Chain A
């Protein structure tokens, strides 16, 4: 298994440009997440998804959009890039059985995308 993959690894955008960060997982996980990591700030949740067709906002969703058309893919869209969105973005996935209240609770992370907005 490749686990969680992210593309691109690096990207430089100009203010106002748009782009999509790709994330895919091959572990058949139902939960997927997008985080951003700013220096000294830990990780902040942007959006998450509990399954195909279902997404919800996290702590810092403004300026981003997501979709989850398949179990495997969870792209993150930036419509109008701003300098405040300069960060490292991590995608993660985890599995939670439908019939019980708890899952494995372990999130598996991709290698990250380093985005700079100038």
Chain B
């Protein structure tokens, strides 16, 4: 069965510093990996995805993620954090098994960017 782990419940970073939100996955076959962001009282918004090709994926709002097959990781990164980046971040892997287009989501990591 597919699974996603986000080892940090909370990440704190100062504004202007680089940020990393970690994600590791377990999946049979080739993974389809995603990052979503959730602002307070809102639904999830798509940030970026890895399907195939270049291991470095660029997404919305200056975020990027690096796919590392040997480490089964898909960490989210941004070179310079903004206070407005403070939100809940979810990593997800697509399960192409019995649930059709089911996505398996990680538990989420709360990012706080301090001014």
Tell me the A residues contacting B by CB distance below 8 Å. 4, 31, 40-43, 45, 48, 50, 56, 58-59, 90, 92, 94, 96, 102-103, 105-112
Across the interface, name the chain B residue whose C-beta is closest to A109. B43
B101–A43 CB distance below 8 A: no
Q: Which of these, A96, A107, A110, contacts B103 with CB under 8 Å? A: A107
Across the interface, name the chain A residue whose C-beta is closest to B48. A106
B45–A109 CB distance below 8 A: yes
The 10 A-B residue pairs whose C-beta atoms are closest, nearest first, are A109-B43, A42-B105, A43-B105, A109-B44, A42-B107, A111-B43, A106-B46, A110-B43, A45-B102, A112-B43
B100–A41 CB distance below 8 A: no
- Chain B: residues with Cβ within 8 Å of the partner, total of 24
Known A105-B49, A112-B41; further 9 A-B contacts with Cβ < 8 A? A40-B9, A42-B105, A45-B102, A56-B100, A92-B44, A105-B94, A107-B44, A109-B44, A111-B43
